[in-house]
Structure 1
Amino acid sequence: MPAISVANPKGGAGKTTLTFILACELARSGATVAVIDADPNAIIASWGRKRASEGRAIPFEIVASPKESELVRLVDQYTASHDFVLIDLEGTASRMTSRAFARSHLVLIPFNLSPIDAELAANAVGLIQEEAEALGRTIPFRLVRSRDNAAIQTKTAKRIVTAINEAQLPLLPAGLVERAAYRDIFDFSSTLEELDEANTSGVPAAKKNAYEVARAVVAAVQMEMQK
């Protein structure tokens, strides 16, 4: 079953949030999900450990801090036993990143709609294309808007999206909107479904956004695997 890597050489681009939201939504839909937390910050692994220490269930399997030498084996192992494997990668180009790309059915590149972030996202696209050339095959990818403004799209954001379209780079039709709920899931070691609307604003909107993003990712990976 598909392996989906989430990568961007810039920290703070939303890699971990996107990985986590996808894992929760896919698991909520009934899929079996494994998350390989290869980010040195290990935020998803820490989320899981805190829940386990409190006796709370974890809706997906978490593989924490894999060694570079075992990544390929782990991806092969979990794609054979789970419906989806998500890989949260570190923020720099490395052999770990290269090996994850080599085993991925889809790579997601989250980026904030700013000129600097867009340029760094383009660097991530370059890394994917270099790896694809070395392997002699295409590595499908999608750019994913991250921390979108929920109310308006700025002129800068419009220019960046236009440039992406003109460059004919694949952009996921749904992006993650900036929501307090996406911060509170880590603060409270919760899922979106567990957040208390009395303590967190915009929970219903965050749930709707998470569903739309997950649906768009599933559609993208299905399309690429059918090719």
Structure 2
Amino acid sequence: MPAISVANPKGGAGKTTLAFVLACELARSGGSIAVIDADPNAIIASWGRKRAEQGKSAPFEIIAGPKESELVRLIDQYTASHDFVLIDLEGTASRMTSRAFARSHLVLIPFNLSPIDAELAANAVALIQEEAEALGRDIPFRLVRSRDNAAMQTKTAKRIVAAIDEAGLPLLGVGLVERAAYRDIFDFAATLEELDDATTSGLPAARKNAYEVAHAVVAAVQVEIRR
């Protein structure tokens, strides 16, 4: 089944948050999900360990710290046994990243709506295109707005979105909005469904946003698989 890589060369772009929110939402919808945590920061793996220490299971399987030499085998293994495989990649270009791209049905590139972040996202697109050229086939990808402003879009953000559209780059129709809940899931080693309104603000909106992002990603995967 589909493998989805999440990559961006810049820290703080929301890469791990996007991978985590997708994993939780897809699992909540009834899918069997595997997350390969190939990010040296291992935030998702750490979340899983905290839950285990609290006697709680994770809603998805976590494969922590894969070796470069075993990544392709792991992706093949888990795509054969799970509905979705998500790969949270390290920030820099590497053989690990290249191997994940080569096995991905879709690559997601989250970026903040600032000129610097947009430029670094463009570097990630270039990396995907280089890998596609080496493989002799397309590698589908989507840019994903991260830490979106829930209330309004700034003039800078509008310019960046317009430039992406003018360049003909595929942008996911829904962005991941800046929400306190997306920080609290890691602080409390919880899922969005487990968080409490008494300790986390804006939960209904965060849950709605997570659903919409996951739905948009699944639709994008389906489009690419049908091609």
- TM-score bracket, normalised by the shorter chain, equals over 0.9
CA distance in 1: counterparts of 2:214 and 2:145, whole angstroms = 13
Q: Which residue of 2 aligns with 1:109?
A: 109
Q: State the shift of 1:117 in Å.
A: 0.1
Do structure 1's residue 68 and structure 2's residue 64 form an aligned pair? no
User: For the residues of structure 2 that align with 1:87 and 1:225, how far apart are their CA atoms?
Assistant: 18
Equivalence map 1:34-73=2 (5 Å): 34-73=34-73
Q: Secondary structure at the match of 1:192?
A: coil
| 1:137 to 2:140 alignment | no
Output one character per residue of 1:85-137: Cα deviation in whole Å (capped at 9) or x when no partner.
00000000000000000000000000000000000000000000000000000
Tell me the secondary structure at the aligned position of residue 143 of structure 2: strand
Q: Secondary structure at the match of 2:63?
A: strand
**How far apart in 2 are the matches of 1:58 and 1:97?**
25
Whether 1:206 and 2:206 are equivalent positions in the alignment is yes
- C-alpha distance in 2, partners of 1:13/1:215? 21
What is the DSSP-based 3-state SS (H/G/I as helix, E as strand, rest coil) of the residue aligned with 2:189?
Answer: coil
Deviation of the 1:202 alpha carbon: 0.3
Q: Distance in 1 between matches of 2:181 and 2:222?
A: 28
Secondary structure of the 1:143 match is strand
Distance of 1:54 and 1:151 partners within structure 2: 36
Q: CA-atom RMSD, angstroms?
A: 0.3
Distance in 2 between the 1:175 and 1:166 partners?
19
- TM superposition outliers: structure 1 runs of 4+ over 3 Å: none
Task: Measure, in 2, the Cα distance between the counterparts of 1:30 and 1:150.
Answer: 28
1:20-39 Cα distance to aligned partner (Å, 9 max, x none): 00000000000000000000
Q: Secondary structure at the match of 1:214?
A: helix
Amino acid at match of 2:176: L
In structure 1, how many angstroms separate the alpha carbons of the residues matched to 2:8 and 2:46?
A: 21
Q: What letter is aligned with 1:87? A: I
State percent identity of aligned pairs.
86
CA distance in structure 2 between the partners assigned to 1:222 and 1:49 by the alignment = 33
Could you tell me which residue of structure 1 aligns to residue 89 of structure 2? 89
Give, as a single letter, the amino acid of the residue that structure 2 aligns with 1:111: F
In structure 2, the residue matched to 1:126 is 126
SS at match of 1:11: coil
Aligned to 2:4: 4
| 1:217 counterpart letter in structure 2 | V
Find the aligned partners of 1:102 and 1:199 in 2 and give their Cα distance: 42
Shift of 1:167: 0.3
Q: How many residues are matched?
A: 227
Q: Which runs of 5+ in 2 are unaligned?
A: none
